Amino acid sequence: MVELIDGKKLARELNEKTAARVTALKERGITPGIAVILVGDDPASAIYTRNKHRKAEKLGMKSVLKTFAEDVSQEEVMACVQDLNQDPSIHAILIQSPLPSHLDEKVLDNAINPQKDVDGFHPFNVGRLYNNDPDKCYPVSCTPRGVMTMLDHYNVKLGGRDVVVMGRSILVGKPMQSLLQNRNATVTMISRHTKDKAFYMRHADVLIVAIGQPRFVKAQDVKEGAVVIDVGINRLEDGSLCGDVDFEDVKDKASLITPVPGGVGPMTIASLMAQTVDLAEWSEE
């Protein structure tokens, strides 16, 4: 029988641990600080940023929100990044996506101090992840980190298993691939250019989907007893949310599956908060 992966419950448990770590740091005179840069008035970005801000404050952290108008210049945002890099009370910096087209997001992300790069996008941190550097503490992209926490909690064995990652973004797919390979999984990454997606999907012991296509994955695409992690979140015309996996069609074929909403989403923010505390702790080493 299929078992649902309860992202909300796991996120609550992780947030409780994070709050305890924040308290312990404060007793040493350190308040973890996170800063978010938001450009423009994209509604989804505004909601997501507000949720991050509220959660950080609820957990006892310092939370700073830097907002800019849609027509802000690259130089102005860059100056903000540099100021935050120099601010000792800020341990974590992120730039909320998407940015207006006239801004170079990669240049801005790369300007963040790697030791404050809470999204794990800086090439320095990407390289350490890819190299599986065991002697360094470094941040990784928060959604893949949350997925790994889920897999560990539900005792999903990865060594030697066939794992398929659908989608190759720097936000999810590529760091997910490295994290899985670092656990000795056999990883196949597929994209829209893959000729026979169904072949790879049907052979996956673990299927991780992050492609932004509503209900793309059907039961016929899934191996009996597979673990299915749905990272996608899509808003339909009626306002409801669904994932990249057709949950109702697939759920009875999987052994473990994440719902949407209530699966990976809550773990992303909880992982962001935990990683902010990581950065605060590492800053004192």
What pLDDT is stored for residue 5 in this prediction? 97
Q: What are phi and psi of 93, to 5 degrees?
A: -130, 135
Domains of the chain and CATH, by start: 29-113 (3.40.50.10860), 142-265 (3.40.50.720)
For the beta carbon of residue 19, count every other beta carbon within 10 angstroms.
16
What pLDDT is stored for residue 43 in this prediction? 85
What pLDDT is stored for residue 94 in this prediction? 96
119 is catalytic: yes
Q: Which of 52, 174, 197, 253 is catalytic?
A: 52
Q: Which of 6, 109, 117, 119 is catalytic?
A: 119
Q: What is the DSSP string of the chain?
A: --EE--HHHHHHHHHHHHHHHHHHHHHTT---EEEEEEES--HHHHHHHHHHHHHHHHTT-EEEEEEE-TT--HHHHHHHHHHHHH-TT--EEEEPSPPPTTS-HHHHHHHS-GGGBTT--SHHHHHHHHTT-TT------HHHHHHHHHHHHTT---TT-EEEEE---TTTHHHHHHHHHTTT-EEEEE-TT-S-HHHHHHT-SEEEE-S--TT-B-GGGS-TT-EEEE---EE-TTS-EE-SB-HHHHTTT-SEE--SSSSHHHHHHHHHHHHHHHHHHHTT-
Q: pTM, whole model, 2 decimals? A: 0.95
| Spatial separation of the C-alpha atoms in residues 20 and 130, rounded to whole Å | 31
Instruction: Render each residue's pLDDT in the chain as its tens digit; 285 residues.
Output: 789 999 999 999 999 999 999 999 999 999 999 999 999 988 888 888 999 999 999 999 999 999 999 999 999 999 999 999 999 999 999 999 999 999 999 999 999 999 999 999 999 999 999 999 887 789 999 999 999 999 999 999 999 999 999 999 999 999 999 999 999 999 999 999 999 999 999 999 999 999 999 999 999 999 999 999 999 999 999 989 999 999 999 999 999 999 999 999 999 999 999 999 999 999 987
Are the C-beta atoms of residues 115 and 87 closer than 8 Å to each other?
no
Residue tagged 């000729």 (tokens): 195
Q: Which of 6, 96, 197, 223 is catalytic?
A: 96
Query: Cis link prior to 134 (omega < 30° from 0)?
Result: no
For the beta carbon of residue 162, count every other beta carbon within 10 angstroms.
16
| Spatial separation of the C-alpha atoms in residues 4 and 210, rounded to whole Å | 18
Greatest CA separation for the chain: 56
What pLDDT is stored for residue 161 in this prediction? 98
What pLDDT is stored for residue 137 in this prediction? 85
What is the torsional sign of CA 216, 256, 249, 261? negative
96 is catalytic: yes
What pLDDT is stored for residue 47 in this prediction? 87
β-pair partners for 38: 67
Amino acid found at 1:
M
